[in-house]
Amino acid sequence: MTPADMQARLVRYGDLIPCRTAFIDAHTPGSDLKENFTIIGGGVSEAADQHVHLTIPHGFNIGAAGQPPKCRNSLHSHRTAEVFFVLSGRWRFFWGRYGTAGEVVLEKGDIFNIPTGIFRGFENIGDDYGMIMAILGGDDAGGGVIWAPQVIEDAAAHGLVLSEEGKLYDTKDGARLPDGVGPMPVLSEEQLAAYPEPSTADVVPNYVARYWDMIALADRSPARVIGADAMLRDRPGFEVALITRASASSDMHQHDKPSVLMPVTGHWRVTWEGGSLVMAPGDTLSVPEGVLHSAVPAMTGAAAMYHIIGTDDPAGATMGI
């Protein structure tokens, strides 16, 4: 791997290209200022103009959502894992058919392995623009988004129609569904009854990990955050660990699958046989399988970084709910 080869697999935070029309609620007041970023893999965007930074298959997708204060992402569901960690800001996550079954507030570094098959949404409740990073299970991210019926109805009132093929059409711009293509069906009451309504007590202990707890647990070796025997026990087709200054190692190692490094705090130097580079919070690096490398803090001060790697487990529903 030459420096140019590895740089081609590095997506800098400052180079992220947003899509402001990624989803059906892009015109709905309260959700119309959000930005969607697809970093690795095709993601679940419904817009034709969504920019994809890296198309290399990893067995999972990496994306991000950026929102100003009081902006929310509407209630939706996925067929595979959806994991968020907070890069910046203060965020309220809520879930249930109407978003009233439970909620939790997360801050920088906190991670949420949202149970598959429940409607979920989130909003920036901080005082400044915030960013959350996302891991979606599977190369096709479960085939798209399932929206709560009221989201589809509200969107139509503001000009956006989603086709049964999962593509958006803006009727205010004169767009119409093609002949022979119908709108995305709204879930029936019978279908909606199959979506769980877990309480906060059901969700938070098993699906949320707090940043400072992970920092403490990573004092000798990386904290295993998501995995079969990790803090959040799950097998969604990938594993997540948090590496800190205390648990980082300069020993060269390799993986049999592509791995992803995502700093939360501090600057990190990644070294391989062909060179080195320094990452900052918000950057995303895909390290190819079989490449010997190491990652250690590049400067003094606090340093923490998420590490994601695919497993042989199929992408599917989370464990427990």
pLDDT at residue 120 is higher than 70? yes
CATH superfamily entry for domain 15-208: Jelly Rolls (2.60.120.10)
Whole-structure pTM value: 0.94
Residue pLDDT, tens place only, 78-100: 999 999 999 999 999 999 999 99
Phi, psi dihedrals of residue 245, rounded to the nearest 5°: -55, -40
CA 176 – CA 170 distance, rounded (Å)? 7
Predicted confidence at residue 321, as pLDDT, reads 52
- Domain range summary for the chain, segments of one domain joined by +: 15-208, 211-310
Q: Return the number of other C-beta atoms located less than 10 Å from residue 256's C-beta.
A: 10
Residue pLDDT, tens place only, 221-268: 999 999 999 999 999 999 999 999 999 999 999 999 999 999 999 999
Residue pLDDT, tens place only, 262-280: 999 999 999 999 999 999 9
Compute the mean pLDDT over every residue in the chain, rounded to the nearest whole number: 94
Instruction: Provide CB contacts within 8 A for 191, sequence distance 6+.
Output: none
CA 193 – CA 275 distance, rounded (Å)? 54
CATH superfamily entry for domain 211-310: Jelly Rolls (2.60.120.10)
Instruction: Quote the percentage of the chain above a pLDDT of 70.
Output: 98
